[in-house]
Amino acid sequence: MTKLKKNGEPRRQVREGTFGLYTGFAMFGALVLAGLIVPVISKYDPNQPGLPPMAPPSRDYLFGTDVLGRDVFTRVFDAVFIDLGTALIGVSIPLIVGTIIGTLLGISRNKKINAVVGSLIDGINAFPFLIFVIALIAFIGPGITSIIFALSLVNWARYARIARTRAVVVNHQGYVEAARTLGYSKARILFKHIIPNVSSETRAYALSDFIIVIIAVAALSFLGLGAPPPQAEWGAMIRDGNQIFQIAWWPTIFPGLALCWAGITVAFIAEGLQRRLRETNSK
Amino acid sequence: MSEQNETLLQVIDLKIGIPHPRRETLIIVDNANFDVRSGEMVGIVGESGSGKTMVCRSIIGTLERRGAKVLGGQVLFGGQDLAQISETNWKKLRGKSIGYVPQSALAGPNPVLTTQQQLAEALRRSEAPGTIAEQSRRLLDLVKIRRVDTVMKQYPNQLSGGMRQRVMIACALASNPKLLIADEPTTGLDVTVQSQIMQLLQEIRADFGTSIILISHDLALIDDVCDRVVVMHAGATVEVGSVTEMVNPKHPYTLALNQSRIDIAVPGSELVTILGNAPSVGEWNPGCRFVERCTFKEEDCKVGSHPPLFGERGSHQSACLHRDKLKG
Amino acid sequence: MSNINESFPLADVAVEEPRDKNRLALRRLLYGRILRSLSVGFWVSVIAFLMIRLSPGDPVQIALGAEATEASVKQMRHELGLDTSIFQQFYNFITGIFQGDLGKSFYSGRTVTDIVGTHLPVTLMVIALSILLGVIMAIPIALAVALSKNQLVTYFFRASTSISLALPGFFLALVGLLYFGIKLNWAPSAGYEGAFPGNLRYLWLPALVNCGSLVPVLSRVLHSSLMDTLDEEFVETGVIRGVSKIRFYWSYLLRPSLAPTVVLLSYMVGVLIGGTVIMETIFSLPGIGRELITAVNTKDYPVVQGVVLIFGIIVVFFSFIGDLLGYLLDRRVTLS
């Protein structure tokens, strides 16, 4: 029930979730911006050792230096693109592949294909996500491309499951039936009418998945399965810093905080968008 | 039918609202007035949002958990004002002399308890002779459930709607109540099942002299089974009278309800519907709350507060300023 | 009463109920779930089987090193059954699983079954403790938030759960280990003891970190089910019957709300396994996760394959149990 003013106009109110959404965007944007600017203007090379090692945070080295004598501040922001970029690609590929496969399954009338691929999807989803990715990396070797490849190979099935359920519903909705009666081509119906409506749901999931994948990418590098040295990467930096954690906290804490910052800001955005979606749906 | 005249429950000028920490209190019931006598079956009729359910929650003491509160008036039952009872005292009172059959048969019984467990809970404080199991069987027998052994072990979702409502009635009867409140007990049930449940309620009243409040939006149903009718509109009682008196309504809303009844419509004639919608809670207009939909309205209807019930308590009462116009 | 029955013949129509609807529903649920678990289990083993075969490079060559002679490679291929057709290999693999034969480690020569048998209990212990802690925390939190009428509490709950979900567990574990393990000395940073009460000293911190992602998910789902239940009509009857507080909270609030949480918890076991593998590495616990990471780093393929298979089977098993438990708690749960 929407509250109406006496003259029948809806009361103007700030849309739900707006505050979190904007804060999230601003804070996430700040991180990306810093990732763009800091490596360029910084006096130090992110990967070149030579500064005094393990220098605590000071005016010269804002976040201190690591055990090899590299500026942690420069490295933390140099890693923004490798971390967020890997996660972004690692979410996008499964999103696209999973949405298409799931949609095709949902609208297909072939029961055999549906049953076989459906149980394959269930099978992949049954594996603990991180374990499956780790195992795949074992066979194809560590590295950023391996992470993306393994993530894609595992995660498409989750999107496909969501897309399939949704596609079954969308396929029988009035506007799709109407388009069919109008004699539109199958491809046009699929891409113009069905996929956009299916992907609204998979995209919503992708946003919360993005948080998981950001953390997973760092965790894999932490386990030594990701970016090879000297590449600055949060998980790898935490792994290196951990060796001297008791003596010097800064090489571990600052990349960790950057990782937390990325996760929380995306969570704010996801939460805000979800609230909006719910609000729009309930109207 | 014994002691038809002794008054069992009196609802006087009841006012119920939902307090809000920042906004003003939302009034959902104002000017609710009616009596229930011993062994009598009273029907409360009104559209959704008219406050019927809230009035009955004030009688069974479950207003508070829905965030609502009695703001004024009295609910007299057995010499006590139920509107003034604190939550701790309610704990001692509830489930003793007032039984309650919830609104929908489908969501009424607790889904995780078997019939046996539901009955055992209801019978916890029973002082009747016999073990809980014996009493449970007797109750199920009373509501005419056969194959008691099977039903006892079943969960609500394994029972049909009619069966669930029978179980709920059995639970409500466990404490041998003087008053039974049935809040739209047949919502979502088939017509045949509906009439079975109604017959059951009538038998219970005949056998035990239990007073029954039947809440419904269906005037035809109430007409069939009740002695007296309470008509509610937008949180207020607008007319009270016996079923026979209601044939000649004294309030335009009742008149409109009567005219819109399908069961007595003359074949071939147009079906009359009531103009507009009932005003939503929180958007009541000044004066009579029915004025926007009324065909008899005059200027004085639109000012002041909602008119009270005119006439002597217990007689045929109406809350219409121009009730004389309806007589002809 | 008899004359009333005669005058109301209609009153007996609704009494017929299918006698064993109860047993039928349970049987259908069981069969459906077993069938599903079997089909998922089949794919789990296919995937585990294919992994090793589809990897670039010859696993045998990798295992034996670059200097291996052709004869020794051939010898090992034969030992591993790699010189037969792929279908024969798959058949051998499946029959091997049923006989408890998951192959041998390339390096230590121990059987994978032996490795799993030694190290799995530690991992299961971490998971069990995480679930226990998680449930102990999630239930009161969800209840308190659901029963609170203050909008701010709900807001704070939503914000803190989504923040907690966005925090990297491995980083929290490192910080926790430094603080509790080294500064306060509440948790040992290395070593392990297998016996029950003593091992808790080593396990509480990893389990607590796991709860960082478990509790938000559980409490959110439970909270929304509780809100739905609070709106239900039957809660009214509980109030009216004046049942005791404990009984009210259990039978009228928690139990009707718990089923989705239990089912979700069983699905969360997969996530917990992932978290536990990392925790074992950080806290140097002799669990199967640490074995997995070692095997990954040394390219000990049979161990990787075996561990993945075991974890897949564990997840399938838990989701089966979860569905069943959900049904037993609340008969409204149906098979979709």
Contact A54, A65 (CB under 8 A): yes
pLDDT cut 90: percent of chain C above it: 30
Contact B180, B173 (CB under 8 A): yes
Return the residue in B112, B158, B193 with the most chain C beta carbons within 10 A, the one to mutate for interface testing. B112
Dihedral pair phi/psi, residue B34, rounded to 5°: -170, 165
What's the confidence (pLDDT) of residue A6? 40
Structure confidence by residue, pLDDT tens digits, B268-323: 666 667 777 777 777 788 888 888 888 787 888 888 888 888 888 878 888 888 87
CA proximity to B171, closest of B149, B204, B202, B193:
B204
How much is the average pLDDT of B32-55?
88
Is A4 domain-assigned?
no
CB contact under 8 A, C15 and B163: yes
How much is the average pLDDT of C109-127?
91
Contacts of B207 in chain C (CB under 8 A): 4
Q: Who has greater pLDDT, C216 or B127? A: C216
Omega before A230 within 30 of 0, i.e. cis: yes
Looking at chain C, which residue has its C-alpha nearest residue B169? C237
CA distance A185 to chain C (A): 33
How much is the average pLDDT of A66-84?
89
| Residue A219's CATH number | 1.10.3720.10
Full 3-state SS string of C57-113: CCHHHHHHCCCCCHHHHHHHHHHHCCCCCHHHHHHHHHHHHHCCCCCECCCCCCEHH
Q: Domains, chain C, ranges and CATH? A: 59-101 (no CATH), 112-329 (1.10.3720.10)
* C43 contact A CB<8A: yes
Q: Among the residues of B70-114, which ranges form H helices? A: 87-93
Structure confidence by residue, pLDDT tens digits, B129-170: 888 888 898 888 888 888 888 888 888 888 888 888 889 889
CA distance B145 to chain C (A): 6
Rounded-to-integer distance, Cα B175 and Cα B195, Å? 25
Q: Is A148 helix (H, G, I), strand (E, B) or coil?
A: helix
Structure confidence by residue, pLDDT tens digits, B234-264: 888 888 988 888 888 888 888 888 877 766 6
Looking at chain A, which residue has its C-alpha nearest residue C52? A139
pLDDT classification of A101: cutoffs 50, 70, 90 = very high
Looking at every residue in chain B, the average pLDDT score rounds to 83
Flag whether pLDDT at B103 surpasses 60: yes
Contact A127, C47 (CB under 8 A): yes
Out of B63-72, B114-123, B313-322, C79-88, least confident range: C79-88
pLDDT cut 70: percent of chain B above it: 93
Looking at every residue in chain A, the average pLDDT score rounds to 86
Rounded-to-integer distance, Cα C34 and Cα C30, Å? 6
Of the ranges A36-45, A56-65, C264-273, which is most confident? C264-273
pLDDT classification of B5: cutoffs 50, 70, 90 = low
Looking at every residue in chain C, the average pLDDT score rounds to 82
Structure confidence by residue, pLDDT tens digits, C92-106: 888 888 888 888 888
How much is the average pLDDT of A131-138?
89
What's the confidence (pLDDT) of residue A236? 92
CB contact under 8 A, C17 and B163: yes
Tokens at C26, concatenated: 């349970």
* A277 contact C CB<8A: no
CA distance C59 to chain A (A): 9
pLDDT classification of A5: cutoffs 50, 70, 90 = very low
Of C47, C163, C304, the CB nearest to A138: C304
What's the confidence (pLDDT) of residue C68? 73
Q: Scanning the structure block, which residue is given the tokens 């119906």?
A: A189
Flag whether pLDDT at A14 surpasses 70: no
Q: Where are the beta strands (DSSP E) in chain B?
A: 7-18, 26-37, 41-45, 69-77, 80-81, 98-101, 179-183, 211-216, 228-233, 236-242, 317-318
pLDDT classification of A283: cutoffs 50, 70, 90 = low
Flag whether pLDDT at C336 surpasses 50: no
Out of A146-150, A261-265, B15-19, B99-103, least confident range: B99-103
Structure confidence by residue, pLDDT tens digits, C14-71: 444 444 555 677 777 788 878 878 888 888 888 888 877 766 667 777 767 767 777 8
Contacts of C168 in chain A (CB under 8 A): 215, 218-219, 256, 259-260, 263
What's the confidence (pLDDT) of residue A282? 62
ipTM: 0.86
CB contact under 8 A, B95 and C17: no
DSSP C13-38: GGG---TTHHHHHHHHHHHHHHHHHH
Rounded-to-integer distance, Cα B43 and Cα B41, Å? 7
Interface of A with C in 201-240 (CB under 8 A): 211, 215, 218-219, 222-225, 235, 238
Residue type at C170 in one-letter notation: F
Contacts of B112 in chain C (CB under 8 A): 251, 255-256, 329-331
Looking at chain C, which residue has its C-alpha nearest residue B104? C233
Out of B212-216, C89-93, C262-266, least confident range: C89-93
Flag whether pLDDT at A263 surpasses 80: yes
CB contact under 8 A, C178 and A245: yes
Structure confidence by residue, pLDDT tens digits, A142-158: 889 999 999 999 999 99
Q: How long, in residues, is chain B?
A: 328
Structure confidence by residue, pLDDT tens digits, C297-323: 888 888 888 898 889 889 888 988 988
Of A119, A135, A238, the CB nearest to C174: A238
Looking at chain C, which residue has its C-alpha nearest residue B206? C4
Flag whether pLDDT at B111 surpasses 60: yes
Tokens at A152, concatenated: 């894609």
pLDDT classification of B57: cutoffs 50, 70, 90 = confident
pLDDT classification of A93: cutoffs 50, 70, 90 = very high
CA proximity to A98, closest of A220, A211, A205, A216:
A205
Flag whether pLDDT at A96 surpasses 90: yes
The CB density around residue C278, as the number of other CB atoms within 10 Å, is: 25
Contact C37, C316 (CB under 8 A): yes
The CB density around residue B313, as the number of other CB atoms within 10 Å, is: 13
Is A6 domain-assigned?
no
Contacts of A127 in chain C (CB under 8 A): 44, 47, 270, 308, 311-312, 315
What range defines the domain where residue A222 resides? 80-231
Is A147 domain-assigned?
yes
Looking at chain B, which residue has its C-alpha nearest residue C326? B112
| CA triple B202-B204-B209, angle to 5 deg | 100
CA distance C315 to chain A (A): 6
Flag whether pLDDT at B10 surpasses 60: yes
Flag whether pLDDT at B13 surpasses 60: yes
* C109 contact A CB<8A: no
How much is the average pLDDT of A167-188?
84
Is A32 domain-assigned?
no
What's the confidence (pLDDT) of residue C21? 57
What's the confidence (pLDDT) of residue C6? 35
Contacts of C42 in chain A (CB under 8 A): 119, 123
What is the total count of domains within chain A? Answer: 1
Flag whether pLDDT at C5 surpasses 50: no
What's the confidence (pLDDT) of residue B279? 78
For the entire predicted model, the pTM comes to: 0.83
